[in-house]
A = this chain, B = another copy of it.
């Protein structure tokens, strides 16, 4: 088995911003020279989520709307009493969507659908600098 860990860094514009990272994950696989295995994409932070989406302008508006339904920004959050913060909604959204995604690859290529991209979903209320972990296990 070979294990390769890389990081992917980018900036986000705040709540609901979706950043596509498919090419960076695929590049890690290509560089690793592994043929088959899995890529684990993980957000080391409690206000960010990782999933897949058809990355097009419409869904970039629709997903944030649904996140507001999961945990509206304007609600009262006990989290705000702990830290005098305003991002309780983002913590709740991130926990439900999840910080981790595992995608198999075969013949050196991610097994994504044609209209399916890997995205980081910013759940925090403010713009952030993010650094994701991409760990590739295979042979």
> Shortest Cβ distance from A73 into chain B, in angstroms?
13
- Interface range, A side: 35 or more
Count of identical protomers in the assembly: 3
CA distance A62 to B5 in the complex (A): 34
Quick check: A66 and B57 within 8 Å, CB to CB?
no
Quick check: A58 and B77 within 8 Å, CB to CB?
yes
Is residue A46 contacting chain B, with contact meaning CB distance below 8 A? yes
CA distance A94 to B62 in the complex (A): 12
> Chain A 2-38 against B: per-residue CB contact (8 Å), 1 yes, 0 no?
0101000000000000000000000000000000111
Quick check: B99 and A52 within 8 Å, CB to CB?
yes
Which 10 residue pairs spanning A and B have beta carbons closest together? A58-B78, A58-B79, A104-B135, A45-B113, A58-B82, A1-B1, A61-B78, A44-B113, A46-B54, A46-B116
Q: Taking A61-B78, A62-B92 as given, write out 15 further A-B residue pairs in contact, using a Cβ cutoff of 8 Å, ordered by the A residue number.
A: A1-B139, A38-B40, A40-B104, A44-B111, A44-B116, A45-B115, A46-B54, A51-B99, A58-B83, A66-B71, A69-B69, A69-B70, A95-B119, A99-B116, A106-B135
8 inter-chain pairs at a CB distance below 8 angstroms, sorted by A residue, are A38-B40, A42-B111, A57-B78, A58-B82, A69-B69, A69-B70, A97-B98, A100-B102
